[in-house]
Chains A and B, each alone.
Chain A
Amino acid sequence: MMFAPAPFLLKDASVSQVMTQVCLALIPGIAAYAWLVGPAILVQLVIASLTAVAAEAAMLKLRGKPLAMFLSDGSAIVTAWLIALTFPPLAPWWLVVTGTLFAIVIAKHLYGGLGQNPFNPAMVAFAACIVSFPALMSQWPSVGLQMPLLDQLNVILGLAPRVDALSGATPLDAMKTALKLGEGQIDIAHLLANQDIYGNFAGRGWEWVATGYLLGGLWLWRRKLVTWHAPVAFLAAMVLVSGALWLYQPASFASPVFHLLSGGTMLGAFFIITDPVSGCTTPRGKLIFGFSAGLLAYIIRVFGGYPDGVAFAVLLMNLSAPLIDQLTQPRIFGMKGRQS
């Protein structure tokens, strides 16, 4: 007879179900992304996924873990997709591969694999790559540039020259550069009026991607896979600080709407800071985590040296998460209103 501990009834839930739902929730954003920049993003998703699965399998084999069980959990795919979605869509293939390898091998498996990594692997990949290859990581396709799949493939595979025309910048980056170069002679209102780059409020088209992520995130929340705490706190921090500075000096600071819908804000709010493994888990902890991440992301993207701050903000909060969790343990049953 086997020894099976109680309970004998189990809810129908599994890690792979969780991961599949996260992937599903990413679909609207990906669809908008593909509509915006063309099929290149799909190519990147495939490259990243293949690399991630291969790296995962290799690491599992090296560590002597059951392959099938862990490969089917889908966590590697989620990491891969997040990497592909945060990297520039026309980044060379090896950049994506390097990032993914770094994420899976170092950030995930050296810590013991699924569920044990203190840092978000996708964000580690992004940070490592932007620090190592700042130029490549800042080359975004000029919006509205529609290239056929073959040309995009050629760029990704390094077969075609990385023409300057291809290499724009994200709205955030472009704005920062413009402000710095302009040395105060150009103001935000003027820049935003420039429809070619900025569209109506965020980068033209990018707001649709952000909206896609938002929809997916709301669905995740409805499915109770994420709680509202971290995303709301993150977005609130973003709105508060950007709103305050925008009201104080509208000429040099962009509006909250712009910040909400550009860069990695929405992706970060719903898919990255909600990662339970590397994030906070207590309700109060999640609020602190989200709020601080929003604040840091804003500070780094506006005042710092990198085009977007979400990745660094998330990593910084990742390393604070264990301490925050310890300090924000909720009162347990029967201990409310008492000295703990």
Chain B
Amino acid sequence: MLNKLFKFYGGVKPPSNKTLSNALPIVQAPLPSRLVVPLHQSIGGMPRPVVQAGERVLKGQLIGQADGWLSAAVHAPTSGTVLEVAMHVRPHVSGLDSLCVVIEPDGQDEWIAHGPPDIATMSPADICNYLQQHGVVGLGGAGFPTHGKLTATPAVPMAELIINAAECEPYITCDDLLMRERADDIVRGIAVFRDMLKPQSVIIGVEDNKPEAIAAMRAAVDAQNEAFSVVAVPTLYPAGGAKQLIRVLTGKEVPGSMRSTADMGVQVFNVGTAYAAWRAIGHGEPLISRIVTLTGNVRQAHNVEALIGTPMNELLQLAQPHPDTDGIIMGGPMMGFLVPNESAPIVKTSNCLIAHSERLFPPKAPEMPCIRCGACARACPHELQPFELYWHARAKDFGKTQQYNIFDCIECGCCSFVCPSRIPLVQYFRFAKSEIWAREREKKAADEAKTRFEFKQFREEREKAEKAEKLAKAAAAQAAKKAAEAAAAAAAAGDAPDAPPADKAPDVAVDPAQAAKKAAIEAAMARAKAQREAAQVKNTDDLTPEQAKAMADIEARRQQAGIAEPATTTETKPE
């Protein structure tokens, strides 16, 4: 091996159980009875639905338009009819619903017109846009839109492009099989990334328990005359964590506070992402299916290529689960979760479905108190002190948890794995993290509320001041008028024939009198206007487009309901 490998601290070696599912080739899953495609499948903005119930869609047709820069489009996985666009359960540990497009397949699987773009004429920005439109997101777990990692133009030159094929979680073999069977397309996908990021070197990291995949990848790299190095990394969970893999392959440690690894001159993509990117660029196919490992308590564990939106329980039937299966774990046994509702659909990040049974995963013994043995600290790949974090998270002392760097925790589960007291440590950390986030949200909302409140106060003060000023002006005008009248009266009184200077007096007096009158009228009008303004607050001036749209919608609805006529026509003011 040319590459010098580094070690990361901690890590555990759970039984890998990969041989269960890596013996059989990838099978194309049959069309399910219906597809529920969640619109929100990646980090970032929620895509907007662009289809309506009853509409016929073709395979690969856009159904969710990317919203904002950090968002990825969603496509129809097969041809059929849109049944509804409604809230459906999502594969999320909360079991909450989100907006989904439900499609009834027509069985024809009819593709929309598609074909590879002319990549030679595309600028990097075009390619990014193209990937976004084709819904390519990271398939490793988090679902970060791929173009987001490709557009970053860091000040640091890109030193290494790392392809994460470690697949360190037990049971999962989808990347393994993908590399064995489709190494050529993967390498082409990597080449696209390489051309865009222009790194000094490209390293493909594979855990050394996948010799066939390593061989296949090396063969594909050689066949395409690429200079990528395929490196076997020691099998140690979580070697497939992005930061751990970077550490192992390059020796660089990316701090938890650093948002993007690009700032260290490294970028990491999952091997499946590279494949999906090539399907999009080389074939024009959007991301509508993925390889899913079906394993666990099943008769025939294997990998399938499943359409996004396939209900999990339907898909798992392909592997013939044993009758004592009592749940489905999405993801691996270390970081996955039991799906609260088994009819939840496969999404872009569903890499593995494990049939859960108590025989396979015996129920945990009850939680004992922490004895501070430090086993978790020795296992933590981020060198945290999980028992201290636990101690403070349990006491809900979140400030302290932040002091102990809770946000550096990657929730890999090593600490829970080794804990002799069987404490669900990760669970405590997730709890603490989401509490801290909620607090930050509240704090932000409070700050905004405060600013708006202060602005309102300021505005009211100003209005009051303006009103007072106008009143003062009016009073001044009144006084001037009075003075003028007095002067006029005086002039009139002194209208003696032997007073020549008084000749001019009426003229002079009339002018101020008229001016005063005019001023008074103006003041009155201003006053009335101010009063009107005060009474009829109108703050619809600077609305965001959405707000304006929402109001327009509501107005339209009101008119439909026949409750309120257009506001301008009549005055319907009940008492």
Contacts and interface: CB of A to CB of B under 8 A. Distances in A.
A9 B375 contact: no
Interface in B383-423: 383-385, 387-388, 404-405, 408, 413, 416-422
A194 B340 CA distance: 77
A6 interface: yes
B573 interface: no
B500 interface: no
Interface string A327-340: 00111111110100
Contact of B424 (A5, A66, A116, A325): A5
A128 interface: no
Contacts of B254: 334
A171 B413 CA distance: 51
Given A7-B334, A9-B170, A334 B372 contact: no
A5, A113, A114, A115: which has the most chain B beta carbons within 10 Å?
A: A5
Interface string B243-268: 10001000001111110000000000
Interface stretch (A172-180, A274-282, A311-319): A274-282
B369 A1 contact: no
B372 A14 contact: no
B427 A333 contact: no
B327 interface: yes
B370 A13 contact: no
Interface in B331-374: 331, 333-338, 340, 354, 356, 361, 363-366, 368-374
Interface residues of B, number: 62
A14 B364 CA distance: 11
- What secondary structure prevails in chain B residues at the interface with A? loop
A69 interface: yes
B338 A3 contact: yes
B368 A9 contact: no
A261 B337 CA distance: 53
A165 interface: no
A6 B364 contact: no
A17 B354 CA distance: 30
B323 interface: no
Contacts of A336: 253
Nearest to B12: A11
B333 A7 contact: yes
A62 interface: no
A329 B243 contact: no
A7 B362 CA distance: 12
Interface in B284-323: none
B371 A6 contact: no
Contact of B361 (A9, A277, A325, A331): A9
Interface residues of A, number: 42
Given A333-B381, A338-B255, A73 B368 contact: yes
Nearest to A321: B372
B426 interface: yes
A6 B354 CA distance: 13
B369 A333 contact: no
Nearest to B339: A1
B243 A10 contact: no
Contacts of B8: 333
Given A4-B363, A18-B371, A333-B8, A115 B384 contact: no
B417 A1 contact: no
A163 interface: no
B326 interface: yes
B15 A10 contact: no
A135 interface: no
Interface in A88-127: 112-116
B185 to A, nearest CB: 31
A79 to B, nearest CB: 13
Most buried by B among A15, A225, A227, A338: A15
Contacts of A15: 368, 371, 420-421
Given A6-B426, A281-B377, A333-B383, A276 B372 contact: yes
B373 A18 contact: yes
B383 A332 contact: yes
A14 B367 CA distance: 10
B311 to A, nearest CB: 16
B488 interface: no
B369 A115 contact: yes
A333 B9 contact: yes
Contacts of A3: 338, 340
B382 interface: yes
20 contacts: A2-B363, A7-B417, A8-B333, A8-B334, A8-B356, A9-B334, A10-B419, A15-B421, A116-B369, A225-B373, A276-B373, A277-B372, A281-B388, A329-B385, A331-B383, A332-B408, A333-B408, A334-B255, A334-B258, A336-B253
Interface of B: 8-9, 12, 14-15, 170, 243, 247, 253-258, 326-327, 329, 331, 333-338, 340, 354, 356, 361, 363-366, 368-375, 377, 381-385, 387-388, 404-405, 408, 413, 416-422, 424, 426-427
Given A15-B371, A281-B372, A281-B385, 15 more contacts: A9-B361, A10-B416, A13-B420, A14-B420, A115-B368, A115-B369, A115-B370, A115-B421, A325-B388, A329-B385, A330-B383, A332-B383, A333-B255, A333-B383, A333-B408
Interface of A: 1-11, 13-15, 17-18, 66, 69-70, 73, 75, 112-116, 225, 227, 276-277, 281-282, 325, 329-336, 338
Nearest 10 A-B pairs (CB), nearest first?
Answer: A334-B255, A7-B413, A115-B369, A13-B420, A333-B382, A8-B333, A5-B427, A334-B253, A7-B334, A276-B372
